[in-house]
Amino acid sequence: MRTLLLNKEQVSSLICMREVIGTVEEAYRAFNSNQVVQPGYIGIHLPPPRGEIDFKLGYCNANEMISMKASSGGFVDNPESHGVPSGMGTILLFDAQSCALICVMDGSLITGLRTGASGAVSVKALARKDAGKITSIGTGNQARMQIRAIKEIMKIEMIHAWDSNADTLARYKADIESEFGIPVVMASSKKEAVEQADILVTTTRGKGPLVEADWVKPGTHIVAIGTDQQGKQELDPEIFRNAKIVNDSIDQCTEKGETWHPLNRNIISKHDIHGEIGELLLGIKPGRENEDEITIFDSTGMAIQDNTTATKIYRNAMDGKVGTFFEFF
Local confidence band at 73 (pLDDT 50, 70, 90 cut-offs): confident
Using CA atoms, how far apart are residues 261 and 254, in angstroms rounded to an integer? 8
DSSP string, 16-79: -HHHHHHHHHHHHHHHTTT-EE-PPPEEEE--TT--EEEEEEEEETTTTEEEEEEEEE--TTII
**CATH code reported for the domain at 122-301:** 3.40.50.720
Residue 287's pLDDT is 98
Pairing of strands 42-45, 65-73: unpaired
Query: What does DSSP assign to residue 298?
Result: E
Rounded to whole angstroms, how far apart are CA atoms 110 and 73? Answer: 14
Under 8 Å between Cβ of 247 and 277? yes
pLDDT score recorded for residue 180: 97
Half-sphere exposure of 177 (CA within 13 A, CB side): 13
Mean pLDDT of 67-91: 94
* The pLDDT of residue 206: 87
- pLDDT for the residue numbered 205: 85
pLDDT at 190 over 80: yes
User: Under a CB-based contact definition with an 8 Å cutoff, are residues 37 and 94 in contact?
Assistant: no
Query: Any bridge partners for residue 56, and if so which?
Result: 69
Question: What is the CATH architecture assignment of 2-111+304-327?
Answer: 2-Layer Sandwich (3.30)
Nearest to 109 by CA among 19, 176, 191, 27: 19
CA distance linking residue 89 with residue 49, whole number of Å:
19
216-264 pLDDT per residue, tens: 999 999 999 999 888 899 999 999 999 999 999 999 999 999 999 999 9
| pLDDT above 80 (res 303) | yes
In Å, how far are 112, 202, 258, 305, 320 from 172, measured between CA atoms? 16, 14, 25, 26, 34
- On the question of pLDDT at 79 being above 80, the answer is yes
What pTM does this model have?
0.93
Delimit the domains of the chain by residue range: 2-111+304-327, 122-301
Q: Is the pLDDT of residue 40 over 90?
A: no
Of 221, 224, 250, the closest CA to residue 237 belongs to 224
Query: So what's the pLDDT on residue 158?
Result: 99
CB contact set of 65 (below 8 Å; sequence gap of 6+): 59, 93, 94, 95, 96, 307, 310, 311
Kindly tell me if the per-residue pLDDT of 100 is higher than 90. yes
Alpha-carbon gap, residue 268 to 266, rounded angstroms: 5
Q: pLDDT, tens digit, for every residue of 104-154?
A: 999 999 999 999 999 999 999 999 999 999 999 999 999 999 999 999 999
Task: Give the pLDDT score at 127.
Answer: 99
Maximal CA-CA distance, the chain: 60
Q: How sure is the predictor about 312, in pLDDT bands with cuts at 50, 70 and 90?
A: very high
Torsion of CA 118, 120, 126, 131, to 10 degrees: 160
Cα 10 from Cα 70, distance rounded (Å): 19
Q: Would you please indicate which residues are annotated as catalytic (active-site) residues?
A: 69
* Distance set, CA 310 to CA 14, 18, 153 (Å): 10, 14, 22
Mean pLDDT, the chain, rounded, equals 96
pLDDT for 228 equals 85
- Span 74-102, average pLDDT: 95
User: What mean pLDDT do residues 166-174 have?
Assistant: 97
Q: How confident is the model at residue 329 (pLDDT cuts 50, 70, 90)?
A: confident
Overall average pLDDT of the 274-302 stretch? 98
Average pLDDT of span 28-50: 94
